[in-house]
Structure 1
């Protein structure tokens, strides 16, 4: 089964143009599944059942894995079995019934939910800057990452096909699931915003400033403060308030 996994990952790399981080995530997730199935006596992909996969979901939950990690595994597994089904290597897609853990958007304790919604609604337009700001604020609220992590993100750190981002900050690596609203904002930004902000300049920064360089923490705080003012919010909504949202 390992050989088929490597074949699938190579297919993604050559036909889908996935990033190195995404490639590694697929391989890692699927090899863990192969190891689990092997321990259960299942070594042939054609003999894998929906029950086997559901059992693996329960196994991951018992291991104390986060919803983000489990959701990423679900995405990897579903993509793998969909590929096998389309290639007619299996008679049915046994992963069809798998579902990811529910991800909820909750207002941070230090800010009213209505105020957060107002701020999220302000950067609503098609200019590159508005698309960038919208994506940054949605991503911060969706994942709860630190502002230092947000402004340090590189284009290779985000996997749009799997719906998660990988942060490399202060020698730590953390994976975060991105919810649907943030994914929508990210797609719009990557399609119509980032390249226009860079104006042909080479950069691996995911959210460049108007000079095409990495944005500072203070720079993002000023952006957020400006949108809070435009939303007519009394007081201040800081990045920390949005970050402390539990999703």
Structure 2
């Protein structure tokens, strides 16, 4: 390595490379910039302004400081993931000799069962959207597609009309890390999309984007949240969940129906099976509840522990 590379310049180039490669959503890139600039500010206070000056002890002391200030384990893990990606870039272009962030230990996170709707609740939500106007048809098609395919909201709003094959019942999705995958959608999602696309034909809307807003442009992640919040509020008794929870519902219901975990992993676009395994906790909890309420000699009905002889 020759010369020095200013840390702010390295951050700017790294983010531009990620953006050009579509290596994450715009929201992810904004979060990366925030995390990297927090590190840069700390390093500058220590008199470190070039990438080549950074040592492992600097990264370790910065994260230790953030933990002392009350930064949550999940936020520490997110920052460490960001710094590992940053160093992947630095080593790839020869600015750094090795990935220092890989030498730091990822904090152990508590496994949290994701929010999801039961099948009856999903049916109530989707079947409630019955209007024939363009925006009702859009909302129904949007939520049907997310639930039918399990795609992320960022992947959904990035879809173009040409990415969807209504004849075959599938869609080509451009996911995290610039990875493409083909997802499947059922009969109801296909039917809803056909009605929506037929209604918008000839309107002065974005020709490329699959889902559009009332101004004719591409729908945003935030708009999807507003649409879901409004539709949930229209159905009595439904708890508010995030759009991402529709993806959780998709995975949970597939496993409830007997789908193989690796099939669900592929459909979700997870690299690691461990990312998908969290849904087995959800299905296991439900199996226990169903068993205890339905079996005549189950613990809940008899009042006895399961290991009582």
After TM superposition, the score normalised by the length of structure 2 is: 0.42
- Match of residue 173 from structure 2: 167
Report whether the alignment pairs 1:221 with 2:225.
Answer: yes
- Match of residue 125 from structure 2: 119
Of structures 1 and 2, the larger Rg is shown by 2
Q: Is the contact made by 2:229 and 2:240 (CA closer than 8 Å) also made in structure 1? A: yes
After TM superposition, the score normalised by the length of structure 1 is: 0.52
Q: Is the contact made by 1:141 and 1:242 (CA closer than 8 Å) also made in structure 2? A: yes
- Could you tell me how far 1:172 is from its partner in structure 2? 1.4
- Could you tell me how far 1:236 is from its partner in structure 2? 0.6
Please list, as runs of the form range in 1=range in 2, the aligned pairs for 1:1-247 lying within 5 A after superposition: 110-170=116-176, 171-192=178-199, 194-195=200-201, 199-244=203-248, 245-246=250-251, 247=254
CA shift digits 1:185-233 (9 cap, x unpaired):
11111112x236xx33452000111111111111111101111110113
- RMSD over aligned Cα atoms: 1.8
- Could you tell me how far 1:151 is from its partner in structure 2? 0.8
Distance 1:128 1:166, change over 3 A: same
Q: How many residues align?
A: 137
The whole-number CA distance in structure 1 between the counterparts of 2:121 and 2:240 is 10
Gaps of 5+ in 1: 1-107
The whole-number CA distance in structure 1 between the counterparts of 2:204 and 2:175 is 27
Q: Which runs of 4+ in 1 moved over 4 A?
A: none
The whole-number CA distance in structure 1 between the counterparts of 2:192 and 2:150 is 16
Quick one: higher RCO (CA 8 Å, sep 6+), 1 or 2?
A: 1
Where 1:232 maps in the other structure, the secondary structure is: coil
Q: Is the contact made by 1:115 and 1:233 (CA closer than 8 Å) also made in structure 2? A: no
